């Protein structure tokens, strides 16, 4: 039940804004896939979505930096870990980020991988995610 690969990409959400989609694939071939909606609130204690800021693409709302973080830093750290150990996976990503607001790797990157891992783990155990 080990993580074999993690891959992310930029997609558009239901409002047409770029967001992160992540795939987590286990060594048994189970796929977990998750998309993270772009946040609309901006409270001072909010986790930070990592946005590119390049105004020539999606008015600066692109998420290619967050995608790169998933495909490099997060993937390198989590591949080989037990997909059913959700708390360990989440804690590892929080540790890798090292900030109070998840602004280094991006809350959007971390959440997409966390949700995809949860779905892959459920499939490993022959369950639906809500079970």
Determine, yes or no, domain membership for 43.
no
Q: What is the pTM of this model?
A: 0.94
pLDDT at 39: 66
pLDDT at 38: 75
Determine, yes or no, domain membership for 129.
no
Residue 70: both structure tokens together: 């998933």
Determine, yes or no, domain membership for 30.
yes
Q: What is the CATH number of the domain that holds 78?
A: 3.30.390.10
Q: Is residue 24 predicted with pLDDT exceeding 80?
A: yes
Determine, yes or no, domain membership for 91.
yes
pLDDT at 41: 58
Contact 10, 67 (CB under 8 A): yes
Residue 127: both structure tokens together: 């369950």
Determine, yes or no, domain membership for 115.
yes
* pLDDT tens by residue, 33-56: 999 987 665 666 678 899 999 999
Q: Is residue 17 predicted with pLDDT exceeding 80?
A: yes
Domain span including residue 100: 3-38+48-124
pLDDT at 89: 99
pLDDT at 43: 62
CA–CA separation, 84 vs 2, rounded Å?
8
Length in residues, the chain: 131
CA–CA separation, 62 vs 50, rounded Å?
9
Determine, yes or no, domain membership for 23.
yes
Determine, yes or no, domain membership for 7.
yes
Hey, which bits of 2-67 come out as E strands?
3-12, 18-26, 31-35
Q: How many domains does the chain have?
A: 1
* pLDDT tens by residue, 63-113: 999 999 999 999 999 999 999 999 999 999 999 999 999 999 999 999 999
4 alpha-carbon distance from chain centroid:
16
């Amino acid at each position: 039940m080990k993580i074999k690969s993690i891959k992310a990409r930029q997609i558009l959400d239901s409002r047409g804004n770029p967001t992160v989609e992540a795939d987590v694939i286990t060594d048994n071939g189970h796929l977990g896939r998750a998309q993270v909606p772009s946040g609309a609130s901006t409270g001072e204690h909010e986790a930070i979505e990592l946005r590119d800021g390049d105004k020539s693409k999606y008015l600066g709302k692109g998420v290619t930096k967050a995608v790169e973080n998933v495909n490099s830093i997060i993937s390198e750290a989590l591949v080989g870990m037990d997909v059913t150990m959700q708390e360990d996976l989440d804690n590892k990503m929080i540790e890798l980020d090292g900030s109070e607001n998840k602004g280094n790797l991006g809350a959007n990157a971390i959440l997409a991988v966390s949700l995809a891992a949860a779905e892959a783990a459920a499939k490993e155990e022959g369950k639906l995610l809500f079970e």
